[in-house]
A and B are shown apart, each in its own frame.
Chain A
Amino acid sequence: MRRSIVNDPEDLVPEALEGLVLSHPLLLALEAEHRVVTRRHRATDKVGLVSGGGSGHEPLHAGFVGTGMLDVAVAGAVFASPTALQVLAATKAADAGRGVVQIVKNYTGDVLNFRIAGEISGDDAIETEIVLVDDDLATDTGDADGPGRRGTAATVIVEKLCGAAAEAGASLAEVAAIGRRAASRARTMSLALSAGTHPGDAEPQFALGDDEVELGVGIHGERGRGRVPFRDADGLTELLLEPLREELELHRGDQVLAIVNGLGGTYPLELNLVARSLHHHLADAGVAIERSLVGSYVTSLDMHGISITLMPLDDEQSRLWDAPVRTPALTW
């Protein structure tokens, strides 16, 4: 039986947003009716950046609102898209006169509601561009009519790079192009030792045996590609790394950005073990991790699991990644 620290589960998302904004009074402001988090001081004369989606993935997205990253984040219920009306309010809030880039993880509901909000924003002469994030290698079926790959931890990279470009004065088209390029090059693989539990529920979303690992798991408790035998940290890292290396065709001399991401119930010691293993494996292959993040950035409630995201990195992307950022979850 899993217990949760909640009041009325219905109030979980608005109360959590309120707590986040109260904790960062210099950075954030809350528009409670639409569950929209904006910067405390709205930016002027730059391309606006809005993202959002279901809750349960914190610190994504509201944790990345601030200078150098998002202007606005909008939150749906746990694992459910915000409504078109919420996204519309968020998109309008992000507009500072130079258009708005919407960063959207590739899920049917999110894509539908962001597209609709973009279309209706046109009534107010707000230009929008959608950048779809679809990095999850486990859902790469090659089916052109299918829903495509899911969006997961590469969202952080896209939000960071677009945020830096927008802050530096790039145009709507340029910011969107930078986001799309990053999304097209980044891939993620995930695994779970146990599923997350919905707040207020007693049981996790799926059960795994003591000797089982769910490989290719999604961030909404979706089942993975299959189950494989449990193994040690180095072995688990290899499970994720091998398909990524193959897909990205990494060669000796390549440089990458890596995110070692906890899925909500993984502790930092575990993540550092995976990071260590990833560095050693890639070093052996002559691939340099030029930049990296290790922590829980795109989570799935309290799922005990990890994801590894890799993106081949060029000089422009390195500069954008290194640009200053000041948000609740990412600051340098």
Chain B
Amino acid sequence: MNDQTPSRTLPAGFGRAFVLTLREALVGSADELGDLDRRAGDGDFGTNVRTAMKHLDRNLEADEPSRYREWLTALYMAWLGVGGTSGPLFGMFFRDLAKAGEEAGTAAPTIAQFTDALAAGQATVQRYGEAKVGDKTMIDSLDPAVTALRAALEADAETTAVEALFAAEDAAVAGATATAQTIARRGRASYVGDASQGVIDPGSAAMALVISSARAGADGSGVANIGWIA
């Protein structure tokens, strides 16, 4: 693949668009995510999402980010100030996404750099959280998204960054909705066992919103797909 072709770069304001779209999506679905967590978890995820976004607003005001890396740093620091297990794990995931901006300087990262960063973030979350695919965690939407993104970029040199991110979004949403069919083995929902059957894992849903927001930040629409969470 050739990352330097215009169709494979991410737009100049990608960091800002990605983070603000995600903020909107998480605030807009915090009630639903909290409800999922009450049905199959310890019930604190909605509060944690709101706290993280409150921290994000404070960081954005204090730091006035301009580069991609600065936007993602405000996001990861916001999550690291949140309790539970999801806060630190999302924090470390976004920290790896921020690193994708190291080589990019003032520009947005290429889709290849962004894809590598998603994969690095997945590895970090799995190193700390010890979850595998199928354990009913955020990995269940992240892993298929990374796979779909790589496959789309490698299958056809003409595939654009936006097209590849659409493929990743579809895979992430499918992965998240499929968690309703599984019983938790790691993370918050593992404490309730069979009661998690039939309920989408809120961590996987939030992760799907991350991928959806990346797509919406790249295609310029600025709107993530949140209607499927219930």
Chain A residues engaging chain B, CB cutoff 8 angstroms: 76-77, 80-81, 83-86, 88, 108-109, 112-113, 115-116, 119-120
List B contacts of A81 (CB < 8 A).
83
Interface contacts beyond A84-B87, A115-B128, A116-B91: sample of 9 additional A-B pairs, CB < 8 Å, sorted by A: A77-B83, A80-B83, A81-B83, A84-B81, A85-B81, A88-B80, A108-B85, A109-B83, A112-B85
Task: Please give me the 3 A-B residue pairs with the lowest Cβ-Cβ distance, nearest first.
Answer: A85-B81, A84-B80, A85-B80
Query: Chain B residue with minimal CB distance to A88?
Result: B80
Residue in B82, B88, B95 whose beta carbon sits within 8 Å of that of A112 in the complex: B88
Of B81, B88, B128, chain A has the most CB atoms within 10 Å of the CB of: B88
- 8 cross-chain CB contacts under 8 A: A83-B81, A83-B83, A84-B88, A88-B80, A112-B88, A116-B80, A116-B92, A120-B80
From DSSP, what is the main secondary structure of chain A's interface residues? helix
Q: How many angstroms from the CA of A83 to the CA of B44 in the assembled complex?
A: 15
| Minimum CB–CB distance for B7 against chain A, Å | 34
How far apart sit A10 and B212, CA to CA, in the bound complex (Å)?
36
A132 to B128 Cα, complex, angstroms:
16
Give the most central of A86, A113, A116, A119: most B CB within 10 Å.
A116
Which residues in A have their C-beta under 8 angstroms from that of B95?
120
Given A80-B83, A83-B81, A85-B77, A112 contacting B91 (CB threshold 8 A): no
User: Complex formed: what's the CA distance from A113 to B83 in Å?
Assistant: 9
Interface residue tally on B, bucketed by range = 10 to 19
Q: How would residues 70 to 107 of chain B score, 1 for a CB under 8 Å from any chain A CB and 0 otherwise?
A: 00000001001111110111011001000000000000
Q: What residue in chain B is nearest A109 (Cβ atoms)?
A: B85
Contacts of B81 in A (CB 8 A): 83-86
Cα A84 to Cα B90 in complex, Å, equals: 11
State the CA gap A303–B63 with chains docked (Å). Answer: 45
Cα–Cα, bound, A84→B128 (Å): 13
- How far is the CB of A118 from the nearest CB of chain B, in Å? 12
* CB-nearest residue of chain A to B129: A112
Chain B residues whose CB sits within 8 angstroms of the CB of A84 once the complex forms: 80-81, 87-88, 91
**Smallest CB–CB gap between A215 and chain B, Å?**
23
Contacts of B89 in A (CB 8 A): 112
Residue ID in chain B nearest A81 by CB atoms: B83
In the complex, which residue of chain A has the Cβ closest to the Cβ of B91? A84
Chain A: which residue is nearest B84 at the CB level?
A: A109
Point out which of A76, A77, A115 has the most chain B C-beta atoms below 10 A from its C-beta: A115
- Expressed in whole angstroms, the Cα–Cα distance for A85 and B59 within the complex equals 13
Residues on B with C-beta less than 8 A from A77 are 83
Report A-chain residues with C-beta under 8 Å of the C-beta of B77.
85
- Within the complex, the shortest CB–CB distance from A237 to chain B, in Å, comes to 34
Cβ contacts under 8 Å, A83 to chain B = 80-83, 87-88
A119 to B128, CA, bound (A): 11
**Nearest CB in chain B: distance from A62 CB, A:** 19
CA distance A224 to B87 in the complex (A): 29
Q: Nearest chain A CB to B107's CB is how many angstroms away?
A: 23
Task: Output the nearest chain A residue to B55 by Cβ-Cβ distance.
Answer: A85
Q: Looking across the interface, which residue of chain A has its beta carbon closest to that of B95?
A: A120
Chain A residues whose C-beta falls within 8 Å of the C-beta of B92 in the assembled complex: 116, 119
What CA separation (Å) do A201 and B91 show in the bound complex?
A: 32
